[in-house]
Chain A
């Protein structure tokens, strides 16, 4: 399962309430019905990247990253983790990666430049979009 391996958004790392943490509760997969399962063959292009301070080079934690389908009516919003990384998956194979627009924002910063590259020419190959930000 592709998505289970990806870590996301450290902005809200779980705070344990109790001491009974012997059993890992993360990593539970969604769904679970007998008639349902994630359709991996149907999975389209994943997007990933980092958000950085362009001048200092440091990672920007908890930056908002929005993936919007151009000419569409759907978007997906996530946040960077403690390393400034993000990962967005779940687009269907019918979504043209060129129609997906990634934008980044963080209080006190504005976008200096975004760098985009496909990891290979294969269909469904991951696309990296990195946002380099500068202080307002």
Chain B
């Protein structure tokens, strides 16, 4: 069905090219999105789709956007991206790491189309990359956890031991220990981005070992629900999940892509778009904290808001030395700020995380 849809779009595009039927001037600017999972109600893809809607709203009737969801990373992705380019989309956002090579490949054959690839690192004449500094939000989440825990143990349900996730664990731990030096973080790896049952089991396990604040780097809402069921606290990730845990969720680290999409699309419309390498955070509005649960005391809220403002203003970096790993080895000298290159290949746990990082 999807395929036919594209074929129809392709046909329309071809007809539009026939001399006499050209009316490009008043045609809306076309924007395409490729999503790796169903949009759903919370999570990675949901946030990108929220961003797409914000962009459409901000640019009024001048743009039409179209998305294709649940596109597997690999050969299918190339076909979908190519079809989006062929059907006249002028800028195409590919929102998963595994779309990197397909995006680059298609971009070569459509030099007049702009491409933006999320979380990748390879750029080209018409391919830009963008990502968010999720760790900034993690640090703030850690501060909330450190203030709210009674057992001084937080539990972290994590998917795969890759730098992106490890960075988040470390930022969370540093945030937590910045307000509560006795705090420890226990990590359980589910080896799956998405398996609500296992996430639930991992969360239950962490709580059975004394964790009273949970957070997660997996895609479902199961961790927040598990915390709600056991009357523990949770800090959600990707999206605000308060309706799944109205008492449990203290706040959430949310991704906001709307402003970025609006800017990229309007640049593309005016012809000023350039392939960039954007890694935005609180400052750029890409990372926002969800509203605090009323149980979080006022002074804690103020502290977190102040830290957020400092990070946004560039006055504070969550990874400022001294940084010791959890085996006692110094990784960054006092007063130094970690470089983006070091961050993006982080392969150790900082002090305060229990256990050993699986290799």
A and B are partners in one complex rather than unrelated chains: no
- B residues contacting A by CB (< 8 A) are none
